[in-house]
Chains A and B, each alone.
Chain A
Amino acid sequence: MTLAPETTDLKVQLRLTDGWFTVCDINRLTPGRGVAALLPDGSQVALFRDRSGTLYGIDNRDPFSGAAVLSRGLTGTHQGRPFVASPLLKQRFDLVSGECLDDASVRVATYEVRAG
């Protein structure tokens, strides 16, 4: 979703099976970078905000290495699709579908994210 620039006191929320889970203030997300969040079940999510203000959430674990590092990757746009490149071995993951752009057989979980 797109945010108006003045609404910066919003919270980043993540849809889990039992409702919306509040993570942090929106201003903790630098456009173009990610942060990691810990979910109640112990799993980890990587949250991103692009330069237009759209928010994304995917599993923080890099499926190629097992390390929880996707939130620390560089983001970008590839043929109109927003992606993050793993900081370990540089595979890119579509932030909307979770699909690995460099190996179609690999996919990470995605989360619905909103500012509310």
Chain B
Amino acid sequence: MTSNPRGVPTVPTIVLVGHGMVGQRFLEALAERGLTATHRVVVLCEEPRPAYDRVQLTSYFSGRTPEELSLTDAEFISDHGIELYVGDPAETIDRAARTVTARSGLTVEYDTLVLATGSYPFVPPVPGKDSDGCFVYRTIEDLLAIEAYARSRATTGAVVGGGLLGLEAAGALKGLGLATHIVEFAPRLMPVQVDEGGGAALLRTIEGMGLTVHTGTGTQEILADADGAVTGMKLSDGSQLATDIVVFSAGVRPRDQLARDCGLSVGERGGIAVDEQCRTVADPHVFAIGECALAADGRVYGLVAPGYEQAETAAATIARDESAFTGADLSTKLKLLGVDVASFGDAHGATADCLDVVYSDARAGTYKKLVIGRGGELLGGILVGDADAYGTLRAFTGSVPPVSPEQLVLPAGSGGAVQLGPSALPDAAVICSCHNVSKGAIRDAVTDHSCTSVPEVKKCTKAGTGCGSCVKVLGQLVTAELEANGVEVDKGLCGCFAQTREELYEIALALRINSYQEMLDRYGRAGARGSDGCEICKPTVASIIASLAPTIGASGYVLDGEQAALQDSNDHFLANLQKNGSYSVVPRIPGGEITPEKLIVIGEVARDFGLYTKITGGQRIDLFGARVEQLPLIWARLVDAGFESGHAYGKALRTVKSCVGQTWCRYGVQDSVRMAIDLELRYRGLRSPHKLKSAVSGCARECAEAQSKDFGIIATAGGWNLYVGGNGGATPRHADLLAKDLSDAELVRLIDRFLMFYIRTADRLERTSVWLERIPGGLDHVRDVVVADSLGICGELESLMAAHVAGYRDEWATTINDPEKLARFVSFVNAPDTPDPVVGFVPERDQIKPDLPLLTIGMRPQQPADVLEGSAQR
């Protein structure tokens, strides 16, 4: 960019002060309106990095890197000719000369100045607030500083403030492994968003996670040692709290100093005063947007969605389009410390004559309140613990919902609940509140702009690209609209097959097809026939063939013939590949019950081969660090001692956990260990669309955590209750009760049917929890099919399972007796006795761990990469 000599501006210049989330949205709005082509755009940014997703800051502790949090890239900036100066904040504004001067001395003339300086954390003026170990939580740099301090010298942390940001900060401290306290002055957590009942549900859940919450308590003083490092805090109730770190999260204040210094008017409690076009009241050349602005309705908005709207308004005004920001919806849906919290509309029931409909389940930690107007219209609400209905409910705000309010808040599966689909919404309903996108606009994107997928609709409308809470509803709308338009939605498995996994299963079963090549050449997409297929469909078809093996005349041994070439790498080596190319080995320990002799064998094998041992979550033992050529030697020892494959490497049954049950436990009412062993032995080796986990608890205390499993069994005085569709992991789901008080035989028969129905109808890599939510009719349909036999297929499902049980063979025992198969277990085909030199280990805590520097020798440095997931589009 050439210099812009004073007094002779060649093109009009827009200067943006601040490159946060709202600043970035403003730049995008400029680009969309073509203003970056007609204007010089200069951005002064205080932080050392371009705009990033501040809302997701805490996700750093679940593995997101600062780079992944970025909201922009070098291409966007350079493609639009934007001059971005990071680490160079604006320091003075001369409104008479229309110049901004940055810290580096850079002075830029502007025609239009946009202030998006955001806010700063409020630190209450308590003694000791500047001690070492006191932090705020606003930027990536704050987060890195807290992390560094915590790792070097802290075991306990306290957050001052139990609002939205406070809970985020508490999540960060907990993520660092600190014993975490939350000190909140108000009588409940999140006092702005939730009411007393919601606060109580939130409190129980958060305390259940091991955090300590002090509500109704002020902070009086921060205590420090002689070196000035934090040692604790003095609270308003006279008590003291020992802590190594204090994070202040007691609210934010608009950063308006720059505006004050140049004589722009600011509100009584801060905020740069602007009109409905986001233009400052005092100077038509200056705009203010986001958290630094005092909007025309007299409010400072601290949420990102209204900030985005202001950014749009400012850009539209600069482009001389009509636009106004007259106020915004304060609806929010957040996941704080893993708890869903949402509030929308008139959440606190401020409207005259309104009534509340409340559903509260203290045990499950859920609280739902809807505020209903005199005419039956939905005015607002609060959801804690389960906010699935947020997208639909918020969109109904202001109208009378088509079903009664109590049906909207009762939990699914309780009989009364109604799942209101997005098809019931009016076109004017706002689906994405971050970008203010209505249902009508989404339908238009499909109908008028020919979008045929969620990613295309996101790109076209921006819906779902803010907080992401509407993406589920968005997906349902896009599919419904496509189907309404008669558009063929490509539901194909991958680029090779136009069929879904379920359809391929039906083809394999009905036509007895037991060869992948035959399947591809006869039923693949035209362009894929005769090809080598792909990494998506090969293991999927391999899994279908394995599930149906005895029935369709395939070998039940996954390394036989063609099947060997189809298996994922882990199945091919019957072990789990680890990051340095070594493998881990998991022998099956049915029900988690093991004799001392067998434990000793595992210990001896691990010792003799120098393996790292760890107890798994599934009540077995994982042995890490085996080289590929050691696998047969290890398994020869294990098979000899009576062990068999645990299928930890397969999309197959993993484990059936159990508590000790009636035999030993004074509370137990059934023999849960025996049942777990029976079930694990019955379903071992069963290939399925995804892994299967199970557990059996001997009483209602549920020590085996059966309700977090794909199929979980809880003993009752009268038999067994069967729960299905549970999940732990990243998206936990409580299992649903399928049937009660079953006898042993009834239980086994029902599980046979359930598993085979899942294997038959699920998508690739679709756990039972997701499957149960996806299939039309949900749990009720599954119950109809597997309990009431509404489709008349239960006989077939049972005989398929019977064939699997009868045909089971241990894969490792088969493999170690087959010299041809064993020949594959070498690092090098031309040097079978040479180990892979890249696989090495170093000691840690008296065991081994991978020698990671070995992996980098001779490699060029790489950015961390995401796991790629295939789809029909690829």
Contact = CB atoms under 8 A, between A and B. Distances in A.
Interface in A25-41: 28, 30-33, 35-38
B865 A38 contact: no
Interface string A80-99: 00100101111110000000
Interface string B550-571: 0000000000000011101110
Given A37-B830, A42-B837, A64-B865, A85 B535 contact: yes
10 contacts: A31-B565, A33-B572, A50-B532, A63-B862, A66-B857, A67-B855, A68-B836, A73-B535, A74-B535, A77-B534
Contacts of B121: none
A63 B860 contact: yes
Nearest to A47: B829
Contact of A69 (B496, B534, B581, B869): B581
Given A44-B838, A63-B859, A68-B581, 13 more contacts: A24-B829, A66-B855, A69-B577, A73-B569, A74-B534, A76-B531, A77-B532, A78-B495, A85-B534, A88-B577, A90-B870, A91-B865, A92-B535
Interface string B502-542: 00000000000000010000000000100111110011000
A1 B95 CA distance: 73
Nearest to B853: A66
Given A32-B566, A69-B577, A38 B834 contact: yes
A77 B533 CA distance: 6
A32 B565 contact: yes
Contacts of A44: 828, 836, 838
B74 interface: no
B571 to A, nearest CB: 10
B868 interface: yes
B663 interface: no
Given A67-B580, A89-B867, A90-B869, A32 B532 contact: yes
Given A67-B579, A69-B577, A77-B528, A90 B834 contact: no
B822 to A, nearest CB: 13
A66 B856 contact: yes
Given A23-B829, A65-B579, A66-B838, A91 B868 contact: yes
A51 B517 contact: yes
Contacts of A103: 865
Contact of A36 (B564, B828, B854, B855): B828
A76 B859 contact: no
A114 interface: no
A9 interface: no
Interface of A: 23-24, 28, 30-33, 35-38, 42, 44, 47, 50-51, 61, 63-69, 72-78, 82, 85, 87-92, 102-103, 106
Contacts of B831: 37-38
A50 B496 CA distance: 16
B849 to A, nearest CB: 15
Contacts of B568: 74, 87
B827 interface: yes
Nearest to B531: A77
A33 B534 CA distance: 12
B671 to A, nearest CB: 41
Contact of B532 (A47, A51, A72): A51
B573 A72 contact: yes
Contacts of B579: 65, 67, 88
Contacts of A90: 535, 867-870
A75 B569 contact: no
B829 A89 contact: no
Contact-residue bracket for chain B: 35 or more
B681 to A, nearest CB: 30
B32 interface: no
Contacts of A37: 828-831
Interface string B811-849: 000000000000110011111001011110000000000
B614 interface: no
B868 A38 contact: no
B488 interface: no
A68 B868 CA distance: 19
Contacts of A66: 580, 838, 854-857, 859
A92 B870 CA distance: 10
B829 A35 contact: yes
Contacts of A82: 532
A24 B577 CA distance: 25
B825 to A, nearest CB: 11
A64 B865 CA distance: 7
Nearest to A14: B830
Nearest to A62: B581
B583 to A, nearest CB: 10
Contacts of B580: 66-67
Among A31, A76, A92: residue with most chain B CB under 10 A: A76
B569 A72 contact: yes
A50 B533 CA distance: 10
Nearest to B858: A61
A74 B539 contact: yes
A65 B856 CA distance: 8
Q: Which 9 A-B pairs have the closest CB atoms?
A: A66-B855, A32-B565, A87-B569, A76-B534, A67-B581, A77-B531, A85-B535, A74-B535, A35-B829
B269 interface: no
B866 interface: yes
A77 B520 CA distance: 12
Contacts of A50: 532
B874 interface: yes
A61 B874 CA distance: 24
Contacts of A68: 581, 836, 838-839
Contacts of A72: 569, 572-573, 577
Contacts of A38: 827-828, 830-831, 834
B532 A76 contact: yes
B833 to A, nearest CB: 11
B472 to A, nearest CB: 25
Among B496, B517, B838, B865: residue with most chain A CB under 10 A: B865
Nearest to A37: B830
B711 to A, nearest CB: 29
A24 to B, nearest CB: 5
Contact of A61 (B565, B573, B859, B866): B859
Contact of B564 (A30, A35, A64, A77): A30
Contacts of B533: 76-77
A81 to B, nearest CB: 10
A33 B860 contact: no
A55 B858 CA distance: 26
Contacts of A67: 579-581, 838-839, 855
Nearest to B528: A77
Among B496, B532, B577, B870: residue with most chain A CB under 10 A: B532
Contacts of B858: 61
A36 B835 CA distance: 11
Nearest to A76: B534
Interface in B628-661: none
Contact of B829 (A28, A51, A74): A28
Contacts of A63: 859-860, 862
B72 to A, nearest CB: 19
Contacts of B856: 66
A109 to B, nearest CB: 11
